[in-house]
Amino acid sequence: MNSKYAPLLESFTFKNGVQIKNRIVMAPMTNWSSNPDGTVTEAEVNYYARRSGGVGMVITACTYVTANGKGFHGEFGGDRDELIPSLQKLATGIKNQGAKAILQIFHGGRQVPPELIPNGDVVSASSVPAEGLGKPVPRELSNQEIESIIHDFGEATRRAIEAGYDGVEIHGANGYLIQQFFSPHSNRREDRWGGSLEKRLTFPLAVVDEVKRVAAEHSNGSFIVGYRFSPEEPETPGITMADTFVLLDELAKKNLDYLHVSLQDFWSTPRRGVDDTRSRIELIQERVGDKVPVIGVGSIYTPDEALKASQTGLPLIALGRELIIDPDWVQKIAEGKETEINTEINKENQHQLVIPDPLWQAIIHTPGWFPGVN
């Protein structure tokens, strides 16, 4: 191994005592490859297992906690107990390769395709559609429904524990329901769940509290709970970096095991809300990095890019598309073969890369989404 990359391969221990073997995490990525009933497919399990041999931790694609929260065709579910064996298959496939398995849990809110949910009943914090043509106008959730969804996040956490996962990641990013409550664009309520910035925090923090409560009750104290967030929104009104600092300050009080920034570009800079030219990641690390470990992500492909990212002080770096392109990324660094790492997708290599058909079709038909696809 080239010693300059040694920092990427050092083990990391969370506050709860759980250790992962290195600093590289597989980022959560939708793969559209589950069965219509919400169970995982063999192809999906094999895809994850193929990428779990090198990284320290794998965060799965999001799984819906409530039937009306299903956000994608081919998404696997965690909303009912009969799905525990399905969830277990995936956890086992990941853990058998030596990585920790983290189940990402979410509700799609106003982003769900109406045809995927019972009665096409799209819900959100308020009756405000997402921006874009043809987006459904969601129904505003009642107080009772909100409490029920919070409970559902807890129940999905219990199922994750029973299925053998090492932790859950609460998906508060990418414009889904938790973010919809925090956002001034999607949350126009004037009750306990919205109005002021502090009230818009009520739902996200209640979900965290419920997940933490269930984890404490049903696990042995070594269950990881993380939270993913998007630092800004393009909409007006929308979440700004200043808003996100308030969110981070509150999350830092919750004794979470990590925070995970959702970014397309690791080095992207703030849009508004702060007068600072440094990257969002650096500002976030400065704000809360001494209180809770931060995972950074965003278009990192080469070992040098990962090393540069880690030099911001972030303890963990997540790779997304690069682990689809080269499942042996970590192993090649460990073996001193970093020059053999592939950073462009090979269109002839679907079977060697163990990529399920729905994901493969998305890759090869989306110009610019993957390096080498044009």
- Supply the residues annotated as catalytic: 176
Q: What residues contact 82, with CB distance under 8 A and at least 6 apart?
A: none
Q: Which residue has the tokens 């906690």?
A: 65
Asked if 58 contacts 21 with a C-beta cutoff of 8 angstroms, the reply is no
Q: What residues contact 28, with CB distance under 8 A and at least 6 apart?
A: 59, 60, 61, 62, 104, 169, 171, 228
| Nearest Cα to Cα of residue 171 among 274, 102, 113 | 102
Question: What are the phi and psi torsion angles at 296 (to 5°)?
Answer: -105, 150
Asked if 286 contacts 268 with a C-beta cutoff of 8 angstroms, the reply is no
- Cα 197 to Cα 208: distance, rounded to the nearest angstrom: 17
